């Protein structure tokens, strides 16, 4: 049974199961690189100790969550020339969609998002800097925006590097 599956993979993709496994591993590693880059950026921002009530540090963090992984994704892909780095945007989109479903399933209570509809839950949780929904413990921007944004930024940088390398 496994021999026929392996032969079918070879016939369809032109790659062995080992090659596909290696690509999947690199896909996961590049995704983790993007998240690690974001963690470093947020660590530096936290070390500066900005005002937690101010919107400016959050806007700057949002821009850096995309820009820094974009630049480092470009550099890493330029050095490594691994095509899997250009496809990690899929992981970012999937993470965003999973977190959206999670937020939609959360109950609303008295507070910031008491009578929120589906669209309001999503927009206030992920995109409102000053008056969020309060869902996800107030970490909606981090979990649903910055992490997927960093993965997508990394992928964009890698795609640019791979496009220019060819």
In 10 A of CB 68, how many CB atoms? 20
Separation of alpha carbons 44 and 28, rounded Å:
25
Distances (CA, A) of 7 to 15, 82, 160: 10, 25, 34
Q: Residue holding tokens 């963690």?
A: 39
Taking alpha carbons only, the member of 60, 58, 56, 146 closest to residue 99 is 146
Over residues 111-153, the pLDDT tens digits come to 667 778 889 889 988 998 887 888 888 888 999 999 999 999 9
- What's residue 52's pLDDT? 83
Q: How confident is the model at residue 166 (pLDDT cuts 50, 70, 90)?
A: low
Question: Which domain does 52 fall in, by range?
Answer: 2-165
Separation of alpha carbons 125 and 128, rounded Å:
6
Q: What average pLDDT score do residues 26-35 get?
A: 97
Question: How many domains is the chain built from?
Answer: 1
Over residues 50-93, the pLDDT tens digits come to 998 889 999 999 999 999 999 999 999 999 999 999 999 999 99
């Amino acid at each position: 049974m496994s021999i026929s599956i392996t032969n079918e993979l070879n016939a369809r993709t032109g790659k062995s199961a080992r090659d596909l496994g290696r690509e999947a591993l690199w896909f996961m590693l590049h995704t983790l690189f993007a998240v690690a880059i974001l963690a470093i950026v947020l660590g530096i921002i936290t070390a500066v100790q900005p005002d937690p009530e101010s919107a400016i540090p959050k806007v700057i963090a949002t821009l850096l969550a995309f820009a820094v992984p974009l630049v480092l994704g470009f550099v890493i892909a330029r050095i490594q020339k691994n095509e899997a780095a250009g496809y990690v945007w899929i992981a970012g989109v999937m993470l965003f969609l999973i977190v959206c479903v999670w937020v939609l399933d959360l109950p609303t209570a008295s507070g910031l998002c008491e009578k929120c509809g589906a669209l309001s839950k999503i927009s206030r949780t992920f995109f409102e800097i000053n008056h969020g929904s309060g869902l996800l413990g107030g970490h909606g921007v981090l979990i649903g925006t910055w992490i997927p944004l960093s993965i997508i930024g990394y992928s964009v940088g890698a795609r640019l590097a791979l496009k220019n390398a060819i």
